[in-house]
A and B are shown apart, each in its own frame.
Chain A
Amino acid sequence: MASMRDIKRRKSSISSTQQITKAMKLVSTVKLQKAKSRAEETTPYFNHMYATVSSLLKRTGNIDHPYLNKREEGKKVIITVTSNRGLAGGYNSNIVKLITNSDIPKADAQIYAIGSKGEDGLKAKGYEIKESKPEIMEAPTYDDAREVCDSVLKAYEEGEVNEIYLAYTHFKNTVVHEPKLLKLLPVEIPEDDQQKEETPKSTALMNFEPNEEEALAMIIPKYVSSLVYGALVEAVASENGARMQAMDSATSNAEEMISDLTLKYNRARQGSITQELTEIIAGADALS
């Protein structure tokens, strides 16, 4: 049995760890609330954008435009959104796993890393890191998203890249976050007939200014940046949600260990008292 002193030391170390995890949980709870309300504010923009682009694409189905055409050759860019800090459970490793398990061949993939944890994980697995922007995750703004998109779209237009993907963690609610791999370009025409039925009249009569092709060329980059921005904002919310959960379970694990150690400590103390008594009685017996 471990000595009383060992147990005591262990107990105090665990309880100081518990204090840290408790504090981290509180911090990420507050951050989560903030990030969540931000994520909710971006949804109307994103939903409108999605509706407009899908109605636009339905009307311009057979247009010949680089944003819509599939090409065989070229690299595949994956914009990877992870966090800069660990201690968030499986948050970052889930994204890395998602990419390694996807059917994108490693040789063709170029990683555009936003967040250093994902970058490190993918680098270790042998992926090519094209660019790295860990600072964006500290406080993502729409301008950051647009900058990322501009550089990726430029590579796409020059023909170096033939497909663009986005890997991020979708924030479903406070406890459910799922890693997602989304294809950004070439844009795939969404095939849901429900929306078509909802607004048949308005889309049928829609005019475009200057014309459909130019409008498409202007709107698609904005669509892509809005997707990336949405992903950034959701990823921040998911990160804090994941950390909150991880720290919550760490705190309760620490509590369990402490109660276990307290029991052991009391037992050890009782044991030493009993032993002392036996020794005293034995000594008294020997004297008489």
Chain B
Amino acid sequence: MAENNPLFEVEIITPDREFYHGQVSMIEFTTTEGQIGVYKNHIPLTTVLAPGVVTLTEEDGKREAAVHSGFAEILGDRVTMMAEIAEWPDEIDKNRAMKAEERARRRLEAMEADLDYKRAEIALRKALVRLDITER
């Protein structure tokens, strides 16, 4: 396996479209267990995604996207990400995300039933990821 080509294939698929398909040298993303970075020839791994920023290091620079939930399948020479929601920074409505953040924080402070709490926490994390990526 002495190859010099560090690139491998990445696919990000959402229910509505093929969000991204290209060659990258590294992909970084957030899983439920923490952040991971994947180079070529990673061990085969299926992992569950948490709301976070995906960084794709392409040959001619980095690209970032917000991915909210789903899972990723890592094989040696390709990574397939099945995301329920994925967005490029320019697709995010910043005002909406800010309002969502405020709403989620208020709900978290109210601390009602367990289910609402969990939901509000996820909503807050989504809003924070959206804001984070637009401000870079």
Interface residues of A (CB under 8 A from B): 38, 41-42, 44-45, 48-49, 52, 56, 142, 145-146, 202, 205-210, 214-215, 218-219, 222, 226, 229
Contact = CB atoms under 8 A, between A and B. Distances in A.
B15 A42 contact: yes
Contacts of B69: 222
Interface residues of B, number: 24
A219 B16 contact: no
A41 B31 CA distance: 26
B38 interface: no
B71 A215 contact: yes
A146 B84 contact: yes
Given A56-B46, A209-B46, A222 B16 contact: no
Q: At the interface, is chain B mostly helix, strand, loop or mixed?
A: strand
Given A52-B46, A202-B76, A222-B71, 16 more contacts: A38-B16, A41-B17, A41-B18, A45-B15, A48-B80, A52-B82, A205-B43, A205-B44, A207-B43, A210-B32, A210-B33, A215-B46, A215-B47, A218-B48, A219-B48, A226-B15
Interface in B59-97: 69-71, 73, 75-76, 80, 82, 84
A270 to B, nearest CB: 63
B55 interface: no
A48 B19 CA distance: 14
B57 interface: no
Nearest to B78: A202
Nearest to A212: B46
Contact of B48 (A42, A214, A229): A214
A10 B48 CA distance: 66
B16 A207 contact: no
Contacts of B43: 205, 207
Contacts of B75: 202
B45 interface: yes
B14 interface: yes
A222 B46 contact: no
A218 B71 contact: yes
Contacts of A48: 13, 73, 80, 82
A44 B81 CA distance: 12
A205 B82 CA distance: 20
Contact of B45 (A42, A44, A209, A218): A209
Given A202-B75, A222-B70, A44 B13 contact: yes
Nearest to A218: B48
A41 B18 CA distance: 7
Contacts of A145: 15
Interface in B1-40: 13-18, 31-33
19 contacts: A41-B16, A41-B17, A45-B14, A48-B82, A49-B82, A56-B46, A145-B15, A202-B75, A205-B44, A206-B44, A209-B33, A209-B45, A209-B46, A209-B48, A210-B48, A215-B71, A218-B48, A222-B70, A222-B71
Contacts of B13: 44-45, 48
Contacts of A229: 15
Contact of B84 (A41, A42, A52, A222): A222
B36 to A, nearest CB: 9
A48 B70 CA distance: 12
